[in-house]
Structure 1
Amino acid sequence: MELDEAISQIKFGNCVLFTGSGFSLGAKSISGGDILNVSGLIERFLDISGVDENRSEYDLETAAQVACGADKQRVFSELMHSMRCREVSYDHRHIARINWRRVYTSNYDNVFEVASTSERKVYRSFTVLDRAHSPEPGGNEVVHIHGYIERLSSDNFDQEFYLTDDQSRNIRFINSSWNRKFLDDLTFSDAVFFIGFSNSDFHIRKLLDSVTNLKNKIFFIVQQNPSRPSIIRLQPYGEVCPIGLTEFANRVASIRPQRRSADSLVHDCFRKKVYERVNSEDHASREQVQQEVMLGTIDEAFFTKSILYDKNRGVYIDRVSRRFSDVLNLNPKCIVFYSDIGNGKTVIANHFCSLYQGRYANVFEYNGRSYSTSDVRRFCESVESSIFLIENVSKNINLLRIISDTNNGHIIVATDRTKRLEIDWHNVRDAVPSAIKFDVNILTSNEMELMVDFLDSNILWGDYTNLSSKQQKVDFIRNRCGAEIRGILFALFDGGSVRNRVDTLFSELDSLPKDYRDLLIIVCVLNFAYTRNNLDGYLYEYEDLLDLRVSLSDFSEKINNSSIGELLDRDRGCFKFKSSVFAKYMLNSKVDISYVLDLVYRALLNLERTYRHDDVYFYRDMSKALMQYNLYREIYTRNSAKDGRLKIAKKLFEKEIHSFYDRCRHLKIAHNDPLFVIQISMAQLDGEHFEECERLIESAEAMCDSNYDRYQIETHKAEVIAKRSLVRGISPGLVSELEAFSLLKSVVERRNERYHPFGVMDVLLHVFDKNINAIMVGDDCDKAAEMMVSMIDLTNRFPNELSERYHIIRIVNRHANGILKKIGYEL
């Protein structure tokens, strides 16, 4: 993109402006002098500190550090007088009157705000300590990444400003929640203009390193006749335009806001998808089938080749045509396919679109970009009846409402993870009352038979080719694989052609340099942690997390030139595995747990050193996600495995996880945290060390003050009691079981609908099922009946809508009713 073309895009209000110290040239401070640039500030700070010799050796951070040590009050006063703006130039006013997507600035001054006020345009100002958010329609936001003079006071100087060496360690833009928003804004904008930016800001340069693919729309407006070194520093990240501030202001002075045409929105928010029909004999190769099975890549051409016209290979499309063929007769406006990670919801949704695209004019896939409600509404009204494909539907409720409200005959095909949809299904129904959902986690009997045909046809059975009859293969899928797609994938990875393909892809893992290998492993763990915890952010500074001497660009080049590059996507500067099943397989089969936990502990130590403030959500959420016991349990244990090797592996897992938690005890994030102690207890519970669990629970309770809600501790305590009874039998007089139920009942009665302990309640019901004969003797029978009645009453309090969302509520209700009948009671 050329500069003139980029400037022509400014009128649509979707361009980003970044101002450095050069932008403030020509503005006057309240003291009457010029707003100081970096070199001017250095001179003032050195005057305060009395430094006369070797002044050229001082940078801004060092000069500020020395000055604060000499007279902090004078530093504060100097900033107030030299950074607060009284007067701006017409150049500033021309630029400030524009509707920018968002303005970022490394300047402390209020030049941009004063300029916008002069144009009767009010901008809201933020710093990195404010909560990050998506840009509002119309923009009018300035983010001061190093601090803002209007927020400065003698009390908050250390927290608000990034100026001295000490402050640079305390707060950095790159460590705040704004770094993701900054990269999002760069990615989704039409063009990005840096004015007066020298690229000496290390933190911004690190972020630009991660989005070098955007350099064709990034423009650096610099002074005329810039030095050769400054050009060299900026060229890797975008086009250097030596036209100066005044010339740029003159070029944009006549720009007036303009609406974007509805058709152009296709390129902004939606991608048009076409599933082209091909010759019925043009089948996909076995390698393509393996790629689709392993990576779940969404290839429109592959769908039509191997699915629409090939019955034996058509397991996914047959799932759609057989199981969901009558869906459209219900005239729903929204269909949601949901499953756990790796069970094929995205592939199912795409196959559904490919099968039914002929009934609609278009298929549009939402790409996750921010949008204007009015623009999207106009677009939806301007196109004929279409299919809109939306992933992670619970995060896009407003988009559902917009599309549904237009009466053009559109249908929404959406996906989401099971846990998220359980919580937000009522929001989906509020937006689209006719929405229907389908659980695609478990294969039906017919689908299991189709899967057998699929695996037979493509010779994918590997080590399980000894399964001779079709029924044996169906039983294998049902019992060994849990009737889940991801379970089948893990089984296929055990041997045969799929295993060979996997080994080929991972063949270069061991030959990678150690730093690159470590980086790949931590990417894998972070992907898994984020997915499990529904975290929205991504960690861009992987190399900082492990304190490695490699850059993301070097890592990207190295990985892309290896076979492992086929497994990774690079999305807005963040590496992630295309398939979470593959990520789990790599950790499970290719990397020892001890090595992974050592890397994670290194990462936690670096997180603690980097993030000094507990209110920085990234440190808190990321650290806690990396210390979750169930994260590693899910990766390194297989519940269905019972042979001797895996018993040994389980003991090794227990040993390593206990060692990991012993080291983590000393971390600040874990200190005096009762929920960290509960993670240790969960690890002990898996090994059936019930007495140790009780001791740990007592320790966790002792850490809680009077205002602490112990619902998670109480739920875990009830689970320990229930599982102990499941292993050792019921207690005399059902004392322990009654205590467990009392804890769970208390949690249900005081927690909101987003947290409920009915899963543990079902474990307790299994205790009664297992010991039904012993319970029917003496007074235990009456106590058990009373508990069942209370449990049924508890589940009946939940409205039908919640029971529909949380299947476990209905399961507990039926289970309790069944036990009540077994012991001879009727409601």
Structure 2
Amino acid sequence: MESNSFDEFQRRFNLARSGGGILFCGAGFSADCLNFKPDETLGTGAQLLDLFNTELHQDPPYRNLQNAADALQKKVADNGMMTLLKQRYTVSNVTSDMADLLRYPWQAVYTTNYDNALEIAAQAAHKQAEPLNNTDDPSTTTLNLPIIHLHGYVQKWDIHNIRESCVLGAESYSKLTHVKKWLSRFRHDIDQAQIVVFVGFNAGDFHLNQAINDLTGLREKAFFINRPTAQADPDVTAAQKRLGTPFFTGRAGLADTIKRLLATDAPKAPHLASFAKYTPPDPAATVPTQVQIEDLFLYGKVEPSQLARDASNDVSDYHIQRSAIRETLDAVAGDARIVLFDGYPCDGKSLLTTDLAYRLSGARPVYQMRQAYENVLNEVADILHHTPNAALIIENCFDLPAERLASIARQFDGQNGILILTSRAVAVDASTAGLTSLQGLGSFRKMPLARLNTDEARVLSDLADQIAGWRDFYALDYNARLRFIESTCQASLPHFLLRLLQSDYVANRYLEEFNKLSLSQTEREAIIIALYFTHLGENAPVSFLSNAMQTDYGAVIDKLNARAGNDSFRLVRRTGEIIQTVPSIGAQNILQNLFKDTEIVDAVVALLKNLAATYRNPFEQRMFSQMMRYSTLSDVVTDTYEINRFFEHNKQELQMRRMPLFWLQWHMAKCAAEELFDAEKFLEQGYSEADEYERRTGKTFDRRQLDDRRAKFLMLRAKKNSRTGAELFRDFKEAIELTGKILRQDDPQHYPFETLAEIVQTNGAVGHRIDDVLKALIDKWLDQLVVYARMRVGVLAPGYQRDKAQSALDNVG
């Protein structure tokens, strides 16, 4: 045990008084009240096996709990089993230290015990508690302390629920639907907890590996309270050390700690789950090395002390300090309180927010969002109540539902706090409702990350000069490099990085890094998934990937880095609770060149299957939808057979095949493959699923994307097939009507303008196949629609959407 482990326990235990304390009680918690011997074999399974063998008068005794349970069930039936368990697992009295444990302001209590000892202890502590059986609804909310009996609760058993509630061993976890739902809630609570305290826990008492995937996330906040002993069992200690930190203070020792803690003032710091407080690093004492600069450009590996050095000295020795930083500081010094940075992938938004965090932290506390949980609104309110001038940073802000983002922003409008937001330009324009809600706030400012100015281009040239192996750039003289950045790359950082990260030099560097280690199948899948998320524009939380992959993802990445040695494995790494990889352009490069299409499909399909089977919060739902998209897959998988296999596998999952947009994506894949019969069939299935959604939910499904794809499909078919006359006229008529309907709906986006351009282009290419009278009608309708579209384009939000729409109209002529 590390010397500072008890200090960390005390720190977390004190912080959790504001929320986020989870108590988990195993068999040892109430063993003395039930007259069980408190030895190392203690555990619900051991207790039950002994009890069943006694009742059966079994000699020699059963050693398998399930066999013993089956034999006793056959002998005494459900009623006899229930009566036996209720008699044996009902407590009348508890000790004073058990009551003291319940005086702490736990957020929730979990237990594998059947008995009512916790409820009696809560009563003795004058604490209002709500016992919950594993057959109760996990979404149940209660104003009182929830005591959740994962294995079942004797006081709530009856002849009707005993079989589905009573967990007799590991096998039950996979069979009992209600238990699996409660384990999902347990996982959720663990993710958000400040501290998890296990009392009376035995490694065989509860199958943690079936409940928690992100054990690396648990380890730093899990503490095991064991009975005092002169010599601890080495196997129990080893098992607990894999999951957290063991202490041998006993239940009474924990009770004393609680009494001392509650005698002091509670901390005023808010309980943080969605956010983490930013701690500014000490500036580096020396200039950055060539390796550090290259690692930043090629691998996205940030050295925080060098960022701090640049900011402290107002230099750009390590990275480009964007002019947007000064503009933002000037804006918030005035009346701006909510600032949104939007830009393209690899535009430097994350580095910019890190720079701002460092500069703002001198005058106010700064909090960075890690993952948005359901209580994020309350968390923001708590932070601002504690420190009204706090600065909060939320990257990829449109991952949040529009109404939730607006509710967060309203807490800053006209106040002292500062809200810094980032988003990809595409997401900004795809989330018109979210952007509109922000624009309605008086202290909102939108700051697009524009082209590099001349000074920034010079800094980029100087920094890129450190990448000596990129000979295409290194061979240029100073003025030629500057022209390359300002003209060839259009003074765009993403364009520059596209050239760099797709160069042969970088491809070879990635290959060298990849070949450092001999990777297992699990490790290859873990790398693929991390890179795929980066390709989507996300750095995924460890807990999300662990739960989605049903493995301890953090441990997989930690082992990779441990094997790689001092340099670490630079393609994928864990930074706190976030998985980071190379920049998104580099991630696409690696997926395209270092993995087979079949590997990528297998990994993503498995992840989608796991996600389909679980409850998903808004972030997880968005990732679920994004990973299903053909446009995302086709960037890194080109084999038509593998793309089709991707959709065939996903079709097997009810949740996916019920989604109209799933069929829309498959339709797009078939259009790209020019398999038009299947493309039309899948689009029709999308419409059918939309009808079914409306019947099932009573809600209206937005068919705009389906209608737009229908119009595009009709034009594709017109060009690929030999349709003529009335048939072709009807196709044009339907496409024009659908596009007009979309353009006239609220919150238009760029894609119907592009469809209109396609219709005009197709009319020019195949219109001669229609007789003159019908052709004249089509020309008239198109002329009218183009005139309307030119007026309508002004409604679109400035930026990506309006630029794309205007570009399409420019092509109309």
Q: Specify the TM-score bucket, using the shorter chain as the normaliser.
A: 0.7 to 0.9
Secondary structure of the corresponding residue to residue 707 of structure 1:
helix
For 1:282-301, what aligned pairs fall within 5 Å after superposition? 283-301=287-305
The amino acid that maps onto 2:173 is: S
- 3-state DSSP of counterpart to 2:545: coil
Q: Which secondary structure state, in structure 1, belongs to the residue aligned with residue 128 of structure 2? A: coil
Q: What residue identity is the alignment partner of 1:560?
A: A
Residues 91/335 of structure 1: CA separation in 2 closer, same or farther (3 Å cut): same
Tell me if 1:740 matches 2:744: no
Is the CA contact 2:22–2:108 (under 8 Å) kept in the aligned structure 1? yes
Q: 2:172 aligns with which of 167, 171, 195?
A: 167
**How many angstroms does 1:654 deviate by?**
1.9
Give the corresponding residue for 2:630: 629
Q: Which residue of 1 aligns with 2:420?
A: 413
Q: Secondary structure at the match of 1:436?
A: strand
Output one character per residue of 1:293-312: Cα deviation in whole Å (capped at 9) or x when no partner: 23334444423656887988
Label 1:778 to 1:473 Cα distance change in 2 as closer, same or farther (>3 A).
farther
Distance 1:787 1:181 in 2: 51
Structure 1 residues 239 and 413, CA gap change in structure 2 (3 angstroms): closer
What is the CA–CA distance in structure 2 between the aligned matches of 1:51 and 1:270, rounded to whole Å?
60
Equivalent residue for 2:236, pick from 213, 223, 230 = 230
> Counterparts of 1:201-216 in structure 2 under 5 Å?
201=205, 203-205=207-209, 210-211=214-215
Structure 2 CA distance for partners of 1:327 and 1:446, relative to 1, 3 Å: farther
1:591 Cα deviation after fit = 0.9
CA distances 1:603-644 after superposition (whole Å, capped 9, x unpaired): 667x49xx9x676889998876654423311334xxxxxxxx
Name the structure 2 match of 1:433: 442
3-state SS of paired residue (1:415): strand
Cα–Cα, structure 1 residues 236 and 265, in superposed 2: closer, same or farther, change >3 Å? closer
* 3-state SS, counterpart of residue 335 of structure 1: strand
What corresponds to 1:695 in structure 2? 681
Residue among 302, 322, 325 paired with 2:306: 302
**Counterpart-to-counterpart distance in 1, 2:708 and 2:90:** 55
Confirm or deny that 1:443 pairs with 2:451.
Answer: yes
Cα shift readout 1:254-292 (whole Å, capped 9, x = no counterpart): 6537654557999994223267497xxx64332222122
* 1:590, distance to aligned residue in structure 2 (A): 1.0
Change (3 A) 1:228 1:457: closer
Per-residue CA distance 1:177-226 (angstroms, 9 max, x = gap): 4354344245x33xx42111112256425777854587576432223446
Distance 1:615 1:573, change over 3 A: closer
Q: 2:99: which partner in 1?
A: 93
The answer to whether the 8 Å contact 1:539/1:574 transfers is no
Larger mean CA deviation between 297-306 and 779-788 belongs to: 297-306
Aligned residue runs from structure 1 range 722-801, under 5 A: 722-724=715-717, 735-743=730-738, 758-770=749-761, 778-788=776-786
Give how far 1:530 is off. Answer: 9.0
Alignment equivalent of 2:642, drawn from 640, 646, 656: 656
1:505 aligns to what?
Answer: 513
Q: Hey, what's the Cα distance between the residues in 2 that align with 1:671 and 1:265?
A: 40
Unaligned runs of 5+ in 2: 36-41
Residues 221 and 245 of structure 1 are in contact (CA less than 8 Å); yes or no, is this contact kept in structure 2?
A: yes
Provide, for residues 736-783 of structure 1, a one-character-per-residue CA deviation record: whole Å limited to 9, x for no partner: 244235446667889xx8xx7734312212224535768896222321
* 1:434 Cα deviation after fit: 0.4
Structure 1 unaligned residues grouped into runs of 5+: 30-34, 637-649, 823-827
Are residues 486 and 352 of structure 1, via their aligned partners in 2, closer, same or farther at CA, if it must alter by over 3 Å? same
Q: Is the 8 A contact 2:277 2:365 kept in 1?
A: no
Q: How far off is 1:707 after superposition? A: 1.7
Instruction: Render the CA deviation track for 1:96-125: whole Å, top value 9, x for unaligned.
Output: 122024333233444434433444433456
8 Å Cα contact 1:462-1:499 kept in structure 2: no
TM-score by length of 2: 0.75
Give the 3 Å change call, closer, same or farther, for CA 543–325 of structure 1 in structure 2: closer
Q: How does 1:193-208 map to 2 (within 5 A)?
A: 193-201=197-205, 203-205=207-209
Give the Å deviation of 1:405: 6.6
CA drift of 1:149 comes to 5.4
Q: Paired residue for 1:568?
A: 572
Question: Does the 8 Å contact 2:507/2:589 carry over to 1?
Answer: no
Q: Does structure 1 residue 682 correspond to structure 2 residue 668?
A: yes
Q: Classify the secondary structure of the residue corresponding to 2:447.
A: strand
Q: Does 1:221 align with 2:231?
A: no
Cα offsets for 1:704-726 (capped at 9, x unmatched): 64726472544433342355567
The answer to which of 560-569 and 94-103 deviates more is 560-569
How far residue 404 of structure 1 moved from its aligned partner, in angstroms, is 5.8
**What are the Cα deviations for residues 483-530 of structure 1, in whole angstroms up to 9, with x where unaligned?**
754453342134465455434432325x33444334433444466569
Match of 2:598 among 594, 602, 614: 594
What's the TM-score, normalizing by structure 1? 0.74
Residue 25 (1) aligns with residue 31 (2): yes
Identity, in percent, stands at: 17
CA offsets, 1:770-803, max 9 Å, x none? 357688962223212443466678888xxx7xx4
C-alpha spacing 1:153/1:568, structure 2 compared with 1 (3 Å): farther
Query: Among residues 528, 532, 555, which one is paired with 1:521 in the alignment?
Result: 528
Whether 2:55 is the aligned partner of 1:55: answer: no
Letter paired with 2:199: I
Any conservation in 1 of the 2:99–2:125 contact (CA below 8 Å)?
Answer: yes
1:643 match: none
Pick aligned residue for 2:559 from 543, 557, 562: 557
Q: Is the 8 A contact 1:448 1:474 kept in 2?
A: no
Counterpart CA distance in 1 for 2:560 and 2:131 is: 41
Q: Is the 8 A contact 1:342 1:579 kept in 2?
A: yes
Q: Matched residues in 1 for 2:394 and 2:614: separation? A: 35
Other structure's SS at 1:316 match: coil
Q: Is the Cα contact below 8 Å between 2:384 and 2:390 reproduced in 1?
A: no
In the TM superposition, what is the alpha-carbon distance from 1:457 to its structure 2 partner?
Answer: 3.5
8 Å CA contact retained: 2:203, 2:239: yes
Q: Per-residue displacement from partner, 1:412-443 (whole Å, max 9, x unpaired)?
A: 4333444555353355557x630212222x63
Superposition deviation, residue 589 in structure 1 = 1.9
Moved more, 514-523 or 167-176: 167-176
> 8 Å contact 2:294–2:467 — kept in the other structure?
no
Give 1:343's match in structure 2, choosing from 341, 344, 347. 347
Whether contact under 8 Å (1:317, 1:352) holds in the other structure is no
Aligned AA (2:559): E
Amino acid at match of 2:631: N
1:318 is displaced (CA, Å) by 4.2
Residue of structure 2 in register with 1:184 after alignment = 191
Deviation at 1:557, TM superposition (A): 2.6
> Mean Cα displacement is larger for which, 573-582 or 327-336?
573-582
Q: Do residues 707 (structure 1) and 716 (structure 2) align? A: no
Q: Contact 1:16–1:185 (CA<8 Å) still a contact in 2?
A: no
Between the aligned partners of 2:69 and 2:426, the Cα distance in structure 1 is 50
Checking the alignment, whether the CA contact within 8 Å between 2:502 and 2:589 is kept in structure 1 is no
Task: Give the residue type in structure 1 aligned to 2:561.
Answer: I
Matched position secondary structure for 1:240: strand
Give the conservation status (yes or no) of the 8 Å contact 1:307–1:316.
Answer: no
Distance 1:771 1:298 in 2: 49
Question: In the TM superposition, what whole-angstrom CA distance separates every residue of 1:575-621 from its partner, at most 9, and x where no partner exists?
Answer: 5536444433321221111232244456667x49xx9x676889998
* RMSD, aligned CA: 5.2
Contact 1:569 1:578 in 2 (8 A): no
Q: SS of 1:565's equivalent? A: coil
Aligned-partner residue type, residue 347 of structure 2:
N
Q: 1:557 to 1:202 in 2, by over 3 A?
A: farther
Cα separation, partners in 2 of 1:457 and 1:477, compared to 1, 3 Å: closer
